[in-house]
Amino acid sequence: MRLSLFILSNLDAILKEWEDFAGTLAPLEDAGRIELRDHATEVLKVIATDLATPQEESESIAKSKGLAPVAGTDTAAEVHAAARMASGLNSDQVMAEFRALRSSVLRLWTRDTAVSTADEIDDMVRFNEAIDQAQSESMARYTKLLRDAQSLFLAILGHDVRSPLGAVSMGAQVLLQDQTLPAKVLKVGLRIFNSTKRVDEIVRDLLDFSTSHLGDGIPIDPYTVDLAEICQNVVEETRTFHPDRNIELVSEGNLVGTWDGPRLAQAFANLISNAVQHGNRESTILVAIDGCQSNVLFEVSNDADVIPQAKLRTLFDPVKSFAIRPPGERTRSRVQNLGLGLYVVKEIVKAHNGEISVCSTKETGVKFSVSLPRITPQRRNGDD
């Protein structure tokens, strides 16, 4: 009997084994039959339909590479993942369900049918492809839901932190304005105020990181600005906070265009701060912005240790960058920051239809390069 027909003819037996296995998973120990079976019937019917549909070799190869046609609506496997997350299953348990389903179907089928013909062997291969496809769809949806939930949590946390942080900043400013206080108190007040500014920058990056995952990236509001002025202000501010570091600025060409000024100032500041933190303290940080070409080129160069190629690939992804660190570097005392700043830079540049790259060699040090087109979509209404 062909496998597609066997699945449809033996749904109850297959579903009974699915149900029995699901009942062994801790979150579903007390679940009823409907919750245990969930969308298993729909998943099996989709697989049976796929097996009964003629398939070219090119289509099989495409599936094996994850290039199967994208469904216009949520698939049964995707809906199943959402339901299982709501039931409290973790990703390993959802994966285990599909492994158990694969085993159950093949075991029941081979018990009933002596697999020997080319068509039957092809059925087995295609069944495994279909299970892999369903598993991939289910895990992709589970991962997305989990990432969205984590991003929402971080967004809420960031907003909640800003209220008490604002109160601390306001208190520090009140102290600084009272010139009758001793110099020691004013010095402490200045430290508190500077620290609140730094924390506010971290919270801002955290909010940008979380909201960019929940929507279509970082929103921007482009209007006519002069990047020479913006860059000069950012460099001067960095010099104020790091008077011991030598930061040189080279600016040339036409640097007027339509961009989100505050967002690009944030991106420039993050790149320069990154150079301050990771560059050799005795070396000069060179900031260059060039408007002589069709695109504006912004670069930050500094002398620093060579960054391994593996780390360069994940430099703008804080989650992956943290994951590949050796366990000894993940301790609180060894982690200076989570790299949110570089992620935010990448998203701001992306929102402007620009490009960012980084190179690191022993001869040239570390150089970040940002290329920005002069015209950004969605200019502010009424801007000239």
Distances (CA, A) of 328 to 69, 103, 189, 325, 359: 43, 40, 36, 8, 26
Q: State the number of CA atoms in the 13 A half-sphere of 165 facing the CB.
A: 17
Residue 317, pLDDT score? 79
Residue 55, pLDDT score? 85
pLDDT digits (tens, 9 = 90+) for 96-124: 999 999 999 999 999 988 888 999 999 99
In the chain (384 residues long), the average pLDDT of successive 10-residue segments reads 92 92 89 87 92 85 73 87 89 92 93 88 91 91 84 73 84 89 89 85 78 76 93 93 92 93 93 91 94 94 88 78 60 53 90 93 92 71 49
DSSP character at residue 235: H
Element (H, E) at 131: helix 118-177
Using CA atoms, how far apart are residues 379 and 375, in angstroms rounded to an integer?
9
Residue 299, pLDDT score? 96
Residue 239, pLDDT score? 92
The one-letter amino acid code at 276 reads: V
Residue 334, pLDDT score? 42
pLDDT digits (tens, 9 = 90+) for 163-219: 788 888 899 898 888 888 898 988 898 889 888 887 887 787 777 777 776 666 788
In which residue are the tokens 């590949």 written?
324
Residue 313, pLDDT score? 81
Using CA atoms, how far apart are residues 148 and 152, in angstroms rounded to an integer?
6
